[in-house]
Structure 1
């Protein structure tokens, strides 16, 4: 029996490295895994783990379409914004279907940014997004973050040439527990703490948008990887696609509780003072000038409240709580500073959240 051909995008990223490890490297299945990598040195290291690699970039449409057209399963944890990349992947999936008569499977990581409002820290929304509520998820605004690419993926599923599953993480944090980090292959840093730390070091204090009463959800990165395993295994056990929701019913939110931006700001303030006692741990609202200089803070003042019923119904059990998240801010900031404060990689990740 020929192996199941898997194509993986984003293997060296903060989330992608964890998912690759937990789904494929920590266990042996029938899959033949190929990774697209930009860095030849990292590609060489990856091959020692038993995966194949191709040197290239997601923006090489011809290469991406060809690789996808040769694959049974495609996992994209690299980009959820670029509609050009989405088109290349979907074209490849369509070619695969036309050549084999079997719908290839597409796992695609989007982001909870698609659910945000414009509360600017001053409103606690009563809207709780439920990923099993198809009608509610379909009501996401067409101009929301990620939405154009999400809709292209959902439409491809509805057209019948692939089965699509959309993983939607919330604020991701924590230290990846993988050998890929130890080998210098995987980015070890999250997005929330480094981006906030960069702003705090620039303006000299911990801040929040408005009153800081708006809420987001959180998910620890290794818990997110376990969600990936849960969904992947459920889909592999459902070859006809009749039991595990896909397409419009294929959102899998990743969360394990909610926090206010004031709670996060206070944790950041304490961490800031701990690493630089000359700075106060007091949290104050961003000024209009600070918001203009760092427009990201408007996102950090939004609401994105949700429940991950889909994955929990499949047996997923996340472990890390909101208290764990808030308690991790200092150690995460210290790790980031120890590694030279590599903000560029964190900001790049925002393009896939």
Structure 2
């Protein structure tokens, strides 16, 4: 199958967001971009933001939001590579991108490369802070008594368990469409499923993620670090730059002429480097904020039911009280080397920098969530 010709045409979504901004900042530092072998077009919503992205990075900009599906399909039909970081739960734009890549394949015979940023929200259960389960049930609405215990986590060397998660659950509709396009053959797809993402972003706008900043703001508001229920569920984390570096590992592999990264039915990639329980994270956050004099006690406490919405916002059970545990396999097989492993400069060590970011952004900012994503996650 023929490879794209230079310059490689890249369509990037989410450039004004936390992950996409970090990806764009890293992309323009690459030697292939500096040598003119890559041309980047960013999908950006709003004239002012489009102007900033264009002037700061010198890239092309398509001024559109994800609902502008005709514009997005047309842009995708002229694209070699799509790096989609904007929203894992917007199936119309995903289908538009795939339609554009399919039209291009039928015209040129060149297989498009689609790297999609999904998430391990697709693995979450309904624990509501009450229990730890190394691997959640694939039935998100199961009661505690119905959730089977397992001795293993989700893993990605065999993706059957991931594919078995209903397509009505978080991220799964877009993921499934991309996987099926890859099976059909006009797209070489890689669906990256990050867990909690931490660290400081590098883009011009959103430079913090969702969960840790929200927990910090809640602690400052309530004068104590908090958790949901018993705080027992388990999650993973990954630094934003390690996530971005995995995108490039997959991109370089796809463009190598002899790719090794799996696609099709096994196109899913985990990238967890940290593991924690919510109570453990709340305890560490309490110690660090107390040491700074930001809260009067280092001890965390559980949230009262009437405090939950005001402290963490809607959909808190999904984002802060569930189990979502994954084991990275294929990424390491390809040579991905995270720079922020647990125990050195990993998740807990990021709390101090994220506290400073919260102060910069404002303590009263609301948690960053996609309402459509959260509704899909709980089947609303």
Asked whether the two chains share a fold, i.e. TM above 0.5, the reply is yes
**What's 1:3 paired with?**
7
**What's 2:147 paired with?**
none
Distance 1:13 1:238 in 2: 31
Distance 2:112 2:95 in 1: 15
Distance 1:308 1:2 in 2: 32
Question: SS at 1:317's partner residue?
Answer: coil
Comparing 88-97 with 73-82, greater Cα deviation is found at 88-97
Pick from 188, 194, 198 the counterpart of residue 173 of structure 1.
198
Residue segments in structure 2 that go unaligned for 5+ positions in a row: 136-152
Pick from 31, 34, 51 the counterpart of residue 44 of structure 1.
51
The alpha-carbon deviation at position 7 of structure 1 amounts to 1.0
**What's 2:107 paired with?**
99
Distance 2:296 2:172 in 1: 39
Structure 1 residues 238 and 215: CA distance shift in structure 2, 3 A: farther
Pick from 163, 167, 181 the counterpart of residue 188 of structure 2.
163
Distance 1:92 1:56 in 2: 16
The alpha-carbon deviation at position 344 of structure 1 amounts to 5.2
Structure 1 residues 340 and 171: CA distance shift in structure 2, 3 A: same
After superposition, residues 271-310 of structure 1 pair within 5 angstroms as 271-274=288-291, 277=294, 279-291=296-308, 293=310, 294-299=313-318, 300-310=320-330
Question: SS at 2:347's partner residue?
Answer: helix
Comparing 288-297 with 26-35, greater Cα deviation is found at 288-297
| Structure 2 residue 238 is the aligned partner of structure 1 residue 219 | yes
After superposition, residues 37-186 of structure 1 pair within 5 angstroms as 37-48=44-55, 49-127=57-135, 128-176=153-201, 178=202, 181=203, 185-186=204-205
Structure 1 residues 171 and 285: CA distance shift in structure 2, 3 A: same
Comparing 157-166 with 342-351, greater Cα deviation is found at 342-351
Structure 1 residues 52 and 277: CA distance shift in structure 2, 3 A: closer
Distance 1:133 1:166 in 2: 14
CA contact (8 A) 1:189 1:346 kept: no
Question: SS at 1:347's partner residue?
Answer: coil
The alpha-carbon deviation at position 271 of structure 1 amounts to 4.2
The alpha-carbon deviation at position 168 of structure 1 amounts to 1.0
Structure 1 residues 233 and 279: CA distance shift in structure 2, 3 A: same
The alpha-carbon deviation at position 145 of structure 1 amounts to 0.9
Question: SS at 2:114's partner residue?
Answer: strand
Deviations 1:4-56 (A, max 9, x none): 21111112221112222323433224222111122434433433434211222
Question: What is the TM-score with the length of structure 2 in the denominator?
Answer: 0.83
Structure 1 residues 350 and 203: CA distance shift in structure 2, 3 A: farther
The alpha-carbon deviation at position 204 of structure 1 amounts to 4.3
**What's 1:34 paired with?**
41
**What's 2:362 paired with?**
340
Comparing 72-81 with 223-232, greater Cα deviation is found at 223-232
After superposition, residues 256-275 of structure 1 pair within 5 angstroms as 256-274=273-291
CA contact (8 A) 2:220 2:295 kept: no
Pick from 14, 19, 22 the counterpart of residue 23 of structure 2.
19
Comparing 156-165 with 22-31, greater Cα deviation is found at 22-31
CA contact (8 A) 1:109 1:168 kept: yes
CA contact (8 A) 2:134 2:234 kept: no
The alpha-carbon deviation at position 79 of structure 1 amounts to 1.1
**What's 1:318 paired with?**
338
CA contact (8 A) 1:252 1:308 kept: yes
Distance 1:81 1:220 in 2: 22
Query: How many residues get paired?
Result: 345
CA contact (8 A) 1:36 1:55 kept: yes
